Amino acid sequence: MAYLNSNIPVTYAQVRREYLYDLSGHVGEAEDCLIFGMASISGKAILFHAIMENGAVFYRLPISAFIQRGFDVKKVPRMRLDELELWNCFSYYPSIHTYDILLGQSGKYIGKDKKWYTGTYLFTVDWAHPESNIVDTDHSEVPQEHKCAHIMALKNGNYAAQPNNRLIWSIPSFTVKDEVPDWKVQTSEWTVEDSTQWRTEDSDRFFYGIEEKKKNGNDKV
């Protein structure tokens, strides 16, 4: 697992030039770039690193800074950062993964404006806390708080980073139901090593036995 910075699948894109000038000019202009990495700072938006055609690298730009190749920057709708990315980073430890089943598939997310935005899956960012000796001040591993961010290329030319509970994917050979689930947020933590129920036998056998613990009157079922 990476700390702070991570490689991501290389994405050929355009950057809105006002982000290269601290939002002080060049609105309505764009130049080609190659997005190659990201930074995860707890409590901040996902920040991306890109190299320009002049060879210069610009670090830590939000997802709203980029549009897709082949789109006219003046025709791509300007969307707020919080419309494209719902949650900040959950820790300094990002995990980047591309799920084969989702790669290249179409999906749609429900925005804050209650409208659906359609796009194509690129990769996923997830977070965890890797070291028990470091104080865990985030909530990346709290079941009901955990979120990942699926990075998508939207049909309108923007990019987005959205969690599972805002997304519906379309896999034509499998996703045959046209519905939005009414599921509940998971609050359970799952473990199989519940010492109140069983224990191994006290021996040096390779294939040791497993014994159910005897219940007494004070044991709870």
Q: pLDDT tens digits for 178-202?
A: 888 888 888 888 887 776 778 888 8
The amino acid that residue 187 corresponds to is T
pLDDT at position 129 is 78
83-125 residue pLDDT tens? 999 999 998 999 999 999 999 999 999 999 999 999 999 999 9
For 189, list phi and psi in degrees, rounded to 5: -110, 130
Considering Cα of 204, then 205, then 207, then 209, what sign does the dihedral take? negative
Maximum alpha-carbon separation in the chain:
76
Tell me: pLDDT of 221 over 50: no
112-159 residue pLDDT tens? 999 999 999 999 999 987 766 665 656 656 666 688 999 999 999 999
Residue with tokens 């933590």: 189
Q: Is the pTM of this model over 0.85?
A: yes
Element housing 101 (H / E):
none
Core vs surface per residue 79-117: b (16+ CB within 10 A) or e? beeebbbbbebbbbbbbbeeeeebeeebbbbebeeeeeb
